[in-house]
Copies of this chain bind each other. A is one copy, B any other.
Amino acid sequence: MSNPSLLILPGDGIGPEVMAEVRKIIDWFGARRGVTFDVSEDLVGGCAYDAHGTPLADATMAKAQEVDAVLLGAVGGPKYDNLDFSLKPERGLLRLRKEMDLYANLRPAQCFDALADFSSLKKDVVAGLDIMIVRELTSGVYFGEPRGIFEEGNERVGINTQRYTESEIDRVARSAFELAMRRNKKLCSMEKANVMESGVLWREVVTEVGKDYPEVELSHMYADAGAMQLTRWPKQFDVIVTDNLFGDLLSDLAAMLTGSLGMLPSASLGAPMENGRPKALYEPVHGSAPDIAGQGKANPIACILSFAMALRYSFDMGDDATRVEQAVEKVLADGLRTADLLGEEGRAPVSTSEMGDAIVAAL
């Protein structure tokens, strides 16, 4: 059997720094566990534009289609703000999601015990929080046509199209129900069926899929009420399924509740390949944070936990994933904090690479 293959796309801003720490974990697996990953590395986002004039070169896209999993750092930065829309760093990421058909974006919002105090929410509201947001990732207003800026009469009009087919809703709903079955069997679907017909269809299809999962308690909520309820009492939720755009806002909101944005990984999964495993891309929830890039201040944990998700979902190495997660918990319990995790306690922050080293040591 050939080695598991991994394409690493560090991207922009703090991407390369946090990815360097993941490399240490990968090396540890080679040296200590005899698991050698075939790792290749390439460009995405602004740095790809700088090198090739496009945020994702065709050769990189082709490579991503071949590997067992892609691990991405972050894309974007003010340097690229005035680029034409089609050349923006984000388009590279969106192309990966679309062409790999990664329709189910899993975003855990988990509150780490050692960090519960760090949330802007009251401790009892977030301590022990563990919810999973399943966001549709390949359709909706992100990709619908027509789109663009057009002349109309004597002014311009900006247009985007929200668009969902039954089968697109069906497959992501199934992913969410499957996850709910492995968790607490509670699923809440969010849309704006009171205002948008695409939401009416969404609710209908999710309800229909629910008939195949009679054990799962399914509820529906308007997305605005969802934003409220996530803020008021997030522990009422277990798994949430929602569309691409609502998922973008709601998963970021949920992430922020935990107070641990620099800690949160995500997995974007497609349909199973021939080997039975899904096409997959893993990335931290945080962005490229250009303001702190290159200063050794970034928190590598979200990226390291994204690699742990890869171990679990792409490489059947669930025990090893748990091992990485426990190493992270240990260093946090030991009091290690990167700058983003410091409240008013007056601790000295550790650097990106000190945090990575400590996690390797804890493994």
- Interface of A toward B, CB cutoff 8 Å: 76, 85, 88, 90, 94, 120-122, 125, 141-142, 144, 147-149, 152, 155-167, 192, 194-202, 223-225, 227-228, 231-233, 245-246, 248-250, 252-253, 255-257, 261, 287
Contacts and interface: CB of A to CB of B under 8 A. Distances in A.
Nearest to A196: B160
A228 B251 CA distance: 9
Contacts of A125: 120
21 contacts: A90-B194, A94-B195, A120-B125, A122-B122, A142-B195, A144-B159, A148-B197, A156-B166, A157-B163, A158-B164, A158-B165, A158-B199, A158-B200, A159-B161, A159-B163, A159-B198, A160-B197, A231-B253, A231-B256, A245-B245, A249-B250
A120 B249 contact: no
The secondary structure that dominates the A interface is helix
Given A157-B164, A202-B158, A252-B224, A120 B232 contact: yes
A255 B227 CA distance: 10
Contact of A121 (B120, B156, B248): B120
B147 A165 contact: no
Contact of A228 (B157, B163, B224, B261): B261
Contacts of A192: 245, 248
A201 to B, nearest CB: 3
B147 A197 contact: yes
A227 B198 contact: no
Give 5 nearest A-B pairs by CB, closest first: A158-B201, A158-B198, A224-B252, A228-B256, A160-B162
A153 to B, nearest CB: 9
A333 to B, nearest CB: 23
Given A157-B165, A160-B196, A161-B161, A227 B227 contact: yes
